[in-house]
């Protein structure tokens, strides 16, 4: 059938049917998230770093900065390191060398709540690629439906995991309180722990307790 108007290379066709995404550059930030000092000193940090650096080399990305995010990912409003990283990336878009890639070791290291996920999606809409090294997966503004589904399903799974873990933890805390035990392992200054594991209680600690009273 002859075409009256050939739109094979038209802007209209490219906008709606071309799924090829070409990043503006290869400038990259590596985000390594640990939940606390224990993970920072342990294997979590080293493992994430090794996985991510291997991926960066394979993808021929140019690492500009490693951003250490030492905080929980479950509550967006307390993620000061995460928000500082996003602000740094957004500010770079106004320069001649905008950051166009963020590498995470895997998706749960990026976020575990809806608001943080949406903030990352806003970066994607700006032409920034999210990389998940261990999963060998990317999210771009041209990602197809299966890739988007995987992104959303992983976010939901991670959020459910956090909620269940919180409920389990609080369940144990409530049980301890109901049985007259303290749910915290280390007593504050002025008190000391006595008794066995399942019946442990806090009592005043001699001169320290008197000092606290004064």
Domain parsing of the chain, residue ranges: 23-158, 182-214
Let me know if domain 23-158 sits in CATH 3.40.50.1390: yes
CA distances from 6 to 11, 14, 138, 207 (A): 12, 13, 33, 90
The one-digit pLDDT tens for each residue of the chain (214 residues) are 567 777 777 776 666 666 677 888 999 999 998 775 544 444 578 888 999 999 999 999 999 999 988 777 677 788 888 999 999 999 999 999 999 999 999 888 888 888 989 999 999 999 999 999 999 999 999 998 899 999 999 888 888 877 787 787 777 777 766 766 666 667 777 777 777 766 667 778 888 778 877 7
Query: Are 108 and 154 a contacting pair, CB within 8 Å?
Result: yes
At 78 the pLDDT is 80
Helix axes 114-125, 145-178, angle to 10 degrees: 160
Q: Does the predicted TM-score (pTM) go above 0.75?
A: no
């Amino acid at each position: 059938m002859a075409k009256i108007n050939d739109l094979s290379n038209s802007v209209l066709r490219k906008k709606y049917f071309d799924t090829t995404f070409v990043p503006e550059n290869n400038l990259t930030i590596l985000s390594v998230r640990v939940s606390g000092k224990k993970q920072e000193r342990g294997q979590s940090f080293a493992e994430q770093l090794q996985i991510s650096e291997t991926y960066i080399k394979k993808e021929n990305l140019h690492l500009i900065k490693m951003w250490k995010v030492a905080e929980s990912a479950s509550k967006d409003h307390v993620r000061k390191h995460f928000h500082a990283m996003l602000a740094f990336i957004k500010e770079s878009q106004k320069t001649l060398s905008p950051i166009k890639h963020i590498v995470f070791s895997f998706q749960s290291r990026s976020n575990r709540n809806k608001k943080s996920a949406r903030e990352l999606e806003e970066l994607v809409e700006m032409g920034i690629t999210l990389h998940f090294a261990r999963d060998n997966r990317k999210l771009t503004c041209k990602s197809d439906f299966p890739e988007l589904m995987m992104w959303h399903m992983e976010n939901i799974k991670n959020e459910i995991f956090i909620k269940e873990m919180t409920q389990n933890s609080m369940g144990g805390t409530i049980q301890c309180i109901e049985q007259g035990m303290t749910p915290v392992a280390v007593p504050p200054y002025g008190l000391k722990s006595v008794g066995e594991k399942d019946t442990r209680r806090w009592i005043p600690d001699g001169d320290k307790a008197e000092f606290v009273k004064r």
